[in-house]
Chain A
Amino acid sequence: MAEEFILIPGRTSRQGTSLNEGKDSDAYQEEINTLRMATTDMKRLAIDNGDNIRMWNDVGEVVIPCQAAKGDELPPGILFISYGDKSSYLMGGDTHGSGMPDSKCIDVFVEKFKTD
């Protein structure tokens, strides 16, 4: 059952440190390939820590593991990801004349990824 979410790509400390090691380093790859979701949302969508989810919008689609956000860091309906290759798949080219693509608060659909 797909649900609409708002995706916020952003910086993290771990992303910043690991990108110095190199963007092909395990730490960096793990960091940008993890989606964070509020525990209430995960419960409702029957997603466990580490489960893959499918996330898409009219620009593109990614399949990515999901982890619970710490405590109440994320309000329901909001997703967080360290920005990078994965979040770029969901970023459209239209900057509305500003030069800046919609890079935060991106509308996405999410459902648990079924492997069959």
Chain B
Amino acid sequence: MNIAEQDVNPKSNQLTVIKDATCTFCGCVCDDMELTVENNRITKAKNACVLGKAWFFHHGIQDRPNATIEGKPVSYEEAFDAAVEILLNATYPITYGLSDSTSEAQRVAVAITDWIGGTIDTTTSVCHGPSGIAFQSVGEVTCSLGEIKNRADFIIFWGGNPAESHPRHFTKYSLMPKGEFIPNGRKDRTVVLIDVRKTKSVKAADIFLQIKPRSDFELAWALRGLAKGIDIDSSIEQKIGISLATLRDMMDRMKEAKFGVILFGMGLTMTRGKHLNSEAVLALARDMNQYTRWCAKPMRGHGNVTGADNVVSWTTGFPFGVNLNRGYPRFNPGEFTTSDVLARGEADAALIIASDPMSNFSQPAREHLKTIKSIVLDPKLTDTAKHATVAFTTSTYGINTGGTVYRMDDVPIPLRPAFESPYKGDYEILKAIENRIRGKQLASMMD
């Protein structure tokens, strides 16, 4: 199934170097990794940032069972059968996670959910789901990362801390690179950072706007108003903690830019306003195209969360929070998104792939997840895996298994795995589950 070649040398103890390998830790999806492999371990990761290095160095082969049921080691066959039992007997199963899995595996996860009439949601719903909702409302004016490299002379980072979340973004895409129309790299660019805290990213910026908490919405609308020449009441200064004079200056600079881009993060989607914040920023970037060229891009977090959005969209028509109970896709954030389905105690079974909601979800959601049957696929023994009814230890995508991932700007990139793993990958496990489900369904259905 692997579309990418496998440069794998599993039997030999010799040193192997894998070039053009892809790191999937964050949404940058850097594909210029040079991995040195010795004895089934990656010992060097040239070009990787600290996060990438940690990702590559700490995903070795652990000594754990292939699969467990209620914590007891079982064979793959027994685990597949138990998983299928749970899924076929559930009334309201939910499939969640998927942002650290290949698109090939994601497609099978959707297939399973379709056949059993469950709900499919991905980590998008607790990340840039609000930006997806905003996108459905106003659209989006965007570009691939190479357009930023080659054209952008004005960059705004809003509600994010790329220095710590996407370390190579500045050097590879947005600040440092020389581009076709940006011959002097950083010197040709003006960089603005908007945040509540003075993070490590401030050092990279020319202008830092320290905004008061929960006032991003007002800031975005004030800028929209200034762009259109509307007088903004001075009470805004107290609300957002930034003077009108600064805002006016900012808008003047934005209009003078040749090609501007707003790169926004969780600071917008996770606070008061959520999708209304994202919507305001998307609308601002859109409005600016009346004067010059502007784009806006959500900074996607995980390696293949963009793939999850794409896969769920093309197979169902909707990006996340999709219910298939009635035999066809229905979409409703808040109704079919995992945080809600768990917190309200609605799901009676969960299929969780490469994600750890037990560590990150709201307290009511975690409480309910503990009480229901779950099937978990993960390379690590996470809290979610510890609570699973059926747990699979999986190989790691991009390190042991190949496939396709989508960078934060929707560019699809192949994986070049470094060494083989004795564990099955997400795709193989999900396919085995799907085949068993289909076998049972086709045998039992009378025409």
Contact = CB atoms under 8 A, between A and B. Distances in A.
Interface of A: 6, 8, 10-13, 16-18, 20-23, 59-60, 71-75, 78, 80, 83-85, 88-105
A77 to B, nearest CB: 8
A93 B365 CA distance: 7
A60 B382 CA distance: 22
B76 interface: no
Given A92-B362, A93-B344, A99 B164 contact: no
A23 B266 CA distance: 22
Interface of B: 25-26, 50-51, 53-55, 57-59, 121, 125-126, 129-130, 133, 161, 163-165, 167, 196-200, 210, 213-214, 266-267, 269-272, 274-275, 320-321, 333-335, 337-340, 342-344, 356, 359-366, 380-383
A71 B334 CA distance: 39
Contact of A93 (B55, B58, B213, B363): B363
A80 B382 CA distance: 24
A92 B363 contact: yes
B360 A88 contact: yes
A60 B339 contact: no
Contact of A20 (B57, B126, B167, B334): B57
Given A11-B161, A12-B164, A20-B57, A99 B362 contact: no
Contacts of B50: 13, 16-17
A74 B198 CA distance: 6
Contacts, number: 158
B274 A98 contact: yes
A18 B55 CA distance: 9
B380 A23 contact: yes
Nearest to A22: B380
Given A23-B382, A93-B339, A93-B362, A16 B196 contact: no
Among all A-B residue pairs, the 5 with the closest Cβ atoms: A93-B343, A99-B337, A97-B334, A93-B364, A17-B54
Contacts of A78: 196-197, 213
Contacts of B129: 98-100
The secondary-structure label for the interface of chain A is loop
Nearest to B344: A93
Q: Which of B129, B213, B342, B344 has the most CB of A within 10 A?
A: B213
A74 B214 CA distance: 15
A93 B338 CA distance: 10
A23 B344 CA distance: 27
28 contacts: A13-B164, A16-B26, A16-B165, A17-B50, A20-B57, A21-B58, A22-B381, A60-B363, A75-B197, A80-B197, A88-B359, A93-B339, A93-B344, A93-B363, A94-B343, A95-B343, A96-B334, A97-B333, A98-B130, A98-B133, A98-B275, A99-B133, A99-B338, A99-B339, A100-B337, A101-B362, A101-B365, A104-B267
Contacts of A18: 54
Nearest to A83: B360
A41 to B, nearest CB: 14
Contact of B197 (A17, A73, A85, A94): A73
Nearest to B267: A104
B195 to A, nearest CB: 10
B96 to A, nearest CB: 12
A102 B210 CA distance: 21
A86 B67 CA distance: 29
Contacts of A98: 129-130, 133, 274-275, 333-334
A13 B26 CA distance: 12
B270 A102 contact: yes
B362 A20 contact: no
A74 B199 CA distance: 8
B334 A99 contact: yes
A105 B337 contact: no
Nearest to A98: B274
A12 to B, nearest CB: 5
Contacts of A95: 333-334, 337, 339-340, 343
A105 B25 CA distance: 26
A108 to B, nearest CB: 12
Contacts of B380: 22-23
Nearest to A25: B58
Given A88-B366, A93-B343, A95-B334, A16 B360 contact: no
A11 B339 contact: no
Contact of A22 (B58, B198, B199): B58
